[in-house]
Structure 1
């Protein structure tokens, strides 16, 4: 995990890192593959509603996979936000 990551999670054997974005209310989601990170999508979270924009390489996954990955990313972001508010 890099210093800037909010956190990581695993879905279906894939490791993902949630990182901040320059855009307001938005996080970047990276696929972690060894020492490399590949941008998978950006997720905007406005008024508690998440909206993801996936890179072309990630299209064609089963619908349930997107739900699990996006849900886990939002949970990591919310937990990191909660910790920042408490410190």
Structure 2
């Protein structure tokens, strides 16, 4: 059984969503991503359910089982998002 739906954020073009994980809302994921991203990084978000399979208990990364609502939010600049949709 997968986890409940939650929001995740990462850098566009990377497979890992490590800027924000398991946030309850889109807005919370964007806020967390902006705190963690470097200037010049383009942020993407996705709503996803993660695997709860025991084989991933000690894994560094846990795969998504389902995704929806993927968005490229924009590029982080010194004053916030540049050209974003947030």
What range describes the TM-score normalised by the shorter chain of this pair?
A: under 0.3
Larger radius of gyration: 2
Normalising by structure 2, we get a TM-score of 0.27
Question: Higher relative contact order at CA 8 Å, sep ≥6: structure 1 or structure 2?
Answer: 2
Normalising by structure 1, we get a TM-score of 0.27
Structure that is richer in helix per residue? 1
